[in-house]
Structures are given as C-alpha cells and as structure tokens.
C-alpha cells in the first residue's frame, strides 16, 4: 500500500542524489541549503546553486506540506475536501553557456483527506528541455531517453505525456512552445493508467532518477562549446520567454503566488539575467531563426 510518508522520504532521497550528482557535474560550486517551515504545516528543503562552472543559477527543491486546503485550491479542484498533503521535487537549471539547454523536472504526489475512505490522490510531474539553440541530435537523444523511461511502465505513457507537454509548455501569447518539450503528466491513478499505485510511484521515481544521466549527456559537448556576446544576448532573450511562461502560465508558480508560499523557493526558477528586446527579428537562415522555427507542437523527436 502507498504510504505518503514513504513517498516523501523517497523523494527526499532523490533530491539528495540529484544535488550530489549535479555538484559533481558542476565541479566548482556547491548547493546552498535553506530549510523552511510552512506556517500551516510541513515545510521544505530548498537547495540553490549560483555562479557555478556549468550552472549560472539553479534550484533543486524538496517539499512536503500539509494542512487545511486553501479556498482557492478547493475552488480550482471543485472539491469540498478539507485537508491536503503534497510532496515533490522541483528542479530548474539555467546554465552559463548558451549552447547548454535550460532543464526542468518535477515529480509530485498530492492527496486530499488522507485518512478518509473517500481520499483523493494522484501523482504528477514531468521533465522538459528548453534549448537556447536547438541541436537536433540532443533533442532526439533526450526524447528517446525519456521515451525509454516511460516505456518501462506503460507503452501509452510517452505518446500521451509528450503531447501533454507540448500543450502545457506553450506560450500562447507568443504562439511558440517553451522549448522542445518532453513529458508532462498529472492526476495519475491506477484507474487512468492501468498500473498499480506502486508502479505509478516507481514510474515517478524513474523520472526523477533519469534527471542526472539525461542532463550529463546534454551538457557533455555543449558546456565547452565557444560562445560570444551575440550568443549570450540570444540566451538572455530566450530566458525572457522562460520568465514569461513561468509567471503567466506555470500552474505551480501561480499556485505558489496565490497561496502566499515561500516566494524565494517558488521563484528560484527565474533566470539569473533576462532581456526583452523590442520586436527582435532573427537573421534569415541563422541558428536563431532555425530554433524559432522548431518551437512548435507535434514534432516527433523520438521518431
């Protein structure tokens, strides 16, 4: 049987594995840890790295919070449940080198009225990549790797969750996707997946544990690739789109802002430096233009 404390424990271990894996990968800087408590119940462990060799700014956040369900959430979920429990690991990394992509991962578990027969619970999460410059080979590697993780649990997961990511990570007002997508899933239960709670939990942990190997591969060649001011300015511009997505559309961020959560943990995903240039037009046939043309839904990167 699923036990919420064990889920939180395992997620916490995954945070440990990821932060030590990333410290090794970065090679220069260590994470700083901040433990925080939530006035209404529970708390978290925010770990942030700034000005590393590879990572300019990144956060790996663990939290396990519980208490009375905020009114805003009751409304959004159309429920009359009173209590909630939520635990998860969230990551966003902004690299120095514009050739290295931004990466985001989240695994989470949510439960309402845990001790009740009528309790509602589900898993959610995903992993997606936002390159400043899209490199075909890396995009294909990433999607194939994630597809393999999905296939281990259910062959329907990848196609379904890939489409979900395309739809979710979409910057409607720009008519462009945030990046090359990945997978996104929410409200997974045995009913809608055809696999047991334990197997969904395992899938969730497999997604979490895929993070370090995936990112290690994505940075292998790109982190040492030369760049100049022009690439850096392009990176700042792409980061501004990332900021727009997070502040305007991201559910987790919006939820955090509306429920007066710990603001520095919620916004640790924001870029260290971003720029908005009026009416920027990419040069014809440039790598910038090629990237913009690939910010579309329904590209079959795993094919």
Instruction: Report the Cα 300 to chain-centroid distance in Å.
Output: 20
* H/E element, 238: helix 229-248
What is the distance between the alpha carbons of residues 128 and 169, in angstroms, rounded to a whole number?
9
Q: Which is nearer to a copy of itself, 267 or 292 (CB)?
A: 267
Query: Which CB atom, from 118 or from 279, has the smaller least distance to a copy of itself?
Result: 279
Number of residues that bind a copy of itself (CB under 8 A): 32
Cα(108)–Cα(8) distance, integer angstroms? 9
> Binding string to a copy of itself for residues 193 to 232, with x set by CB under 8 A, is what?
----------------------------------------
Least CB distance to a copy of itself at residue 278 (A):
5
Counting contacts by CB under 8 A, is residue 2 touching a copy of itself? Answer: no
- Binding positions for a copy of itself, 7-36, rule CB under 8 A: 34
Half-sphere exposure of residue 275: CA atoms within 13 angstroms, side-chain side: 12
Tell which one of 173, 220, 225, 290 touches a copy of itself (CB under 8 A).
173
Identify the active-site residue in 104, 132, 143, 145: 104
Strand 181-188's sheet: what is its strand order? Answer: 32-37, 42-50, 55-68, 83-95, 102-112, 120-130, 181-188
- Is 267 an interacting residue with respect to a copy of itself (CB under 8 A)? yes
Q: How far is CA 224 from CA 97, 218, 239, 278, in A?
A: 8, 12, 20, 31
Listed ranges 17-25, 71-79, 193-201, 270-278: which one lies at the site for a copy of itself (CB under 8 A): 270-278
CA-CA distance, 103 to 234, in Å (whole number)? 17
* Catalytic residue flag (residue 104): yes
Neighbouring-strand partners of residue 49:
58
Return the residue of 65, 268, 295, 302 that touches a copy of itself, per CB under 8 A. 268
> Contact positions toward a copy of itself, by CB under 8 A?
34, 48, 50, 57, 59, 172-174, 236, 240, 243-244, 247-248, 256-257, 260, 263-264, 266-268, 270-279
């Amino acid at each position: 049987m699923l036990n919420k404390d064990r889920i939180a424990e395992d997620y916490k271990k995954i945070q440990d594995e990821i932060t030590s894996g990333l410290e090794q990968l970065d090679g220069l800087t260590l994470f700083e840890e901040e433990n925080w408590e939530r006035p209404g119940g529970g708390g978290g462990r925010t770990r942030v790295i700034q000005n590393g060799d590879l990572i300019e700014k990144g956060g790996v956040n663990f939290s396990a919070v519980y208490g009375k369900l905020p009114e805003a959430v009751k409304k959004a979920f159309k429920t009359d449940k009173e209590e909630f429990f939520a635990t998860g690991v969230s990551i966003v990394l902004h690299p120095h080198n514009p050739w290295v992509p931004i990466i985001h991962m989240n695994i989470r578990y949510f439960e309402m009225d845990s001790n009740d027969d009528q309790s509602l619970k589900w898993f959610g999460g995903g992993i997606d990549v936002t390159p400043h410059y899209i490199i075909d080979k890396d995009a294909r590697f990433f999607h194939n790797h994630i597809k393999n993780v999905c296939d281990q649990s259910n062959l329907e997961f990848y196609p379904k969750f890939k489409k979900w990511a395309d739809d979710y990570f979409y910057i409607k007002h720009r008519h462009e996707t945030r990046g090359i997508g990945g997978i996104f899933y929410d409200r997974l239960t045995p009913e809608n997946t055809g696999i047991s709670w334990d197997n969904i939990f395992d899938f969730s942990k497999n997604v979490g544990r895929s993070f370090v190997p995936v990112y290690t591969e994505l940075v292998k060649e790109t982190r040492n690739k030369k760049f100049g001011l022009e690439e850096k300015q392009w990176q700042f511009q792409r980061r501004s789109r990332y900021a727009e997505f997070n502040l305007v559309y991201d559910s987790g961020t919006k939820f955090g802002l509306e429920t007066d959560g710990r603001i520095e943990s919620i916004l640790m995903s924001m870029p260290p430096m971003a720029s908005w240039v009026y009416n920027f037009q990419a040069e014809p046939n440039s790598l910038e233009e090629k990237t913009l043309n690939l910010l579309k839904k329904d590209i079959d990167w795993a094919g």
